[in-house]
Amino acid sequence: MATLNDVARMAADLPEVVEGERNGQRTWSVAGKVFAWERVFSKADIKRYGDQEPPDGPILATRVADLGEKEAVLAEGRAGFFTIPHFDGFSAVLIQLSAADDEKLREAVVDGWLALAPPALTRRYLETLDGT
């Protein structure tokens, strides 16, 4: 079971990540853009679940490149990955950390970083992975 501290370690492995806080929730950003953040359900979010029990926390939101990638990630049926109406039309997915696979979680954190990091930084990062 992953925790927000695990997310912090994953994010810290990426270049130029800054951990911060917004509305009392942890955030991770690159070049001033938040790519992952702790997402607490609002009363309106919980109300939309009606009689269903909403996923319990902690919940992480991560950016994706675009809505097509969001659809693809959700279509894969990854354990713990989901969305809510508040995120309709927004290129991000939600992840229930207690249900997510560590490898898929790490992939989501990296993908979020890649979606918002400056192109030169992403090139350098990808080159280090390729060994060039």
pLDDT in tens, 26-82: 999 999 999 999 999 888 988 888 888 889 889 999 999 999 999 999 999 999 999
Domain ranges for the chain, please list them: 4-123
Q: What does the alpha-carbon distance between residue 99 and residue 111 come to, in Å, rounded to a whole number?
A: 19
Question: The domain 4-123: what is its CATH number?
Answer: 3.90.1150.30
Q: What does the alpha-carbon distance between residue 81 and residue 100 come to, in Å, rounded to a whole number?
A: 7
- H-helix or E-strand spanning residue 25: strand 25-30
If you average pLDDT over residues 11-35, what whole number do you get? 97
Give the pLDDT band of residue 1 (cuts 50, 70, 90).
confident
Q: What does the alpha-carbon distance between residue 16 and residue 6 come to, in Å, rounded to a whole number?
A: 18
* CA dist list (Å): 81 to 16, 70, 104, 132: 26, 10, 9, 33
